[in-house]
Amino acid sequence: MNIKIGRCKLNNILKEHGLLVKKKRKSVITTNSRHRFKKYPNLIKEIEISQTEQVWVADITYIKTDDGFNYLHLIIDAYSKQIVGFELSDNMKAESTTKALKTALKQSKHPERKLTHHSDRGFQYCSNEYIQTLIENQVAISMTENPDPYENAIAEQVNGVLKQEFSIGDGFKNHLVALFEIKKSIFIYNHKRPHRSCKMLTPIDALLN
For the four alpha carbons of 103, 104, 109 and 110, in that order, the dihedral sign comes to: negative
Segment 53-61 shows an average pLDDT of: 96
Segment 137-145 shows an average pLDDT of: 96
Exposure string over 162-187, b if 16+ CB within 10 A, otherwise e: bbeebebbeebeebeebbebbeebbe
Q: Which of 44-58, 118-132, 142-156 has the lowest mean pLDDT?
A: 142-156
pLDDT at 196: 81
Q: Tell me the CATH class for 33-208.
A: alpha beta
pLDDT band at 24 (very low <50, low <70, confident <90, very high): low
Domain coordinates in residue numbering, the chain: 33-208
Mean pLDDT of the chain: 88
Asked if residues 88 and 182 have their Cβ atoms less than 8 Å apart, the reply is: yes
The answer on pLDDT for 147 being more than 70 is yes
Full DSSP string of 143-165:
E-SSS-GGGGHHHHHHHHHHHHT
Segment 150-173 shows an average pLDDT of: 91
pLDDT band at 10 (very low <50, low <70, confident <90, very high): confident
Q: Which residue has the higher pLDDT, 10 or 167?
A: 167
Q: Which residue has the higher pLDDT, 64 or 32?
A: 64
The answer on pLDDT for 114 being more than 80 is yes
The answer on pLDDT for 28 being more than 90 is no
pLDDT band at 132 (very low <50, low <70, confident <90, very high): very high
Segment 65-94 shows an average pLDDT of: 96
